[in-house]
Amino acid sequence: MEIKKTLWGKSPCGQDIWKYTMINASGAYVELGSVGAAIVGVYVPDKDGKLTNVVLSYPDAAAYFGDGPCAGKCPGRYANRIARGHFTLDGKEYTLPINNAENHLHGGPDGFQNKVWESRIVDDAVEFMYFSEDGEAGYPGNLKVVAHYVWTEANELELSFTAECDAATVVNLTNHVYFNLKGEGSALDHVLKLNASEYLPTHPDLIPVGDSEPVAGTPMDFVNAKPLGRDIKAPFPALEYGKGYDNCFVIDGYVPGQLQLAAELCEETSGRALEVYTTQPGVQVYTGNWLEGCPAGPGGRVWHDYDAVAIECQHYPDSPNHPDYPSTVLRPGEVFAESIIWAFKVK
């Protein structure tokens, strides 16, 4: 495995931003950036062997600060939404910044995705570290987060998160990478299959109502593979609230710490396929419903709504306010440890 490190740019406050390129023996490669520990390029072959970047990305490092899509980055301290920016932990209420209607999203406007992480090459891996201070964005406790990336000879990108704290806090980490397996155009022709027979219905502001419900008989059913666009305009509350899919699905057979198949995504013309595995209990599927107006892509490409799909493996939205959901509480002496694997194939 060859790993190259290059200076990519500067942050608004003058920090160096580094780009890492991980190249396997077949020539397929991944690009990572130290803004938000981001995936900024994944170049994998199609059925004819042609390499194409299959993730939403921007050529300019500065474009990754404050971008609406949170493209390829690791949001935190809590990925997804927390209702009204409030939660109670051990009897104390905490208030977080509001940045999504009346709710807190992805750690707020200054979340981990908009920070420059420390970075280094460790053997055949690239590792990013961010230290979040007690009180940052209203969260309690100092928190050290490490994102460890490995790119394999089999074209599998492995991301392992670890986090430790010195006071009880809440943590939910994912990567917000978007995929278009043909490289350009609408992603609504991509065929998705989910290992999820239930999903979390939400209020109109996309905060979960409570209990999960079966997907069977609804447009939320991806147990049997279907194109993303087949039912996306169906008159169904979950789709109307978000202008498309922006919903958390409950992964079948979840066992803490055990890798499970979460999703399979295929695109016929390129022959590319993607399998997504995770140790986390949920997967948020977001069909890029609001990509219009985001920073330009390579070659000045303009991104349009539905041009890419995010498959975000994570804990459930608003878990700190739902004690019956898998816990997102981290306490001193414990280690948050979760993994995601994106396995790229040709069919």
What distance in Å separates the CA atoms of residue 309 and residue 306, rounded to the nearest whole number? 7
Q: How many residues does the chain have?
A: 347
d(CA 209, CA 222): 21
Q: Which residue has the tokens 């200054």?
A: 110
In this structure, are residues 188 and 227 in contact, taking their beta carbons and an 8 Å threshold? yes
Whose tokens are 């140790």? That residue is 279
Nearest 5 degrees, angle CA 217-CA 223-CA 224? 90
Query: Could you tell me which of 4, 24, 120, 17 has the C-alpha nearest to residue 73?
Result: 17
Nearest CA-CA partner of 126 in 15, 21, 279, 53: 21
Burial class (CB in 10 A: 0-12, 13-18, 19+), 171: buried
Among all residues, which ones are annotated catalytic?
176, 312
Q: Under a CB-based contact definition with an 8 Å cutoff, are residues 308 and 291 in contact? A: yes
Closest CA to 260 of 243, 278, 246: 278
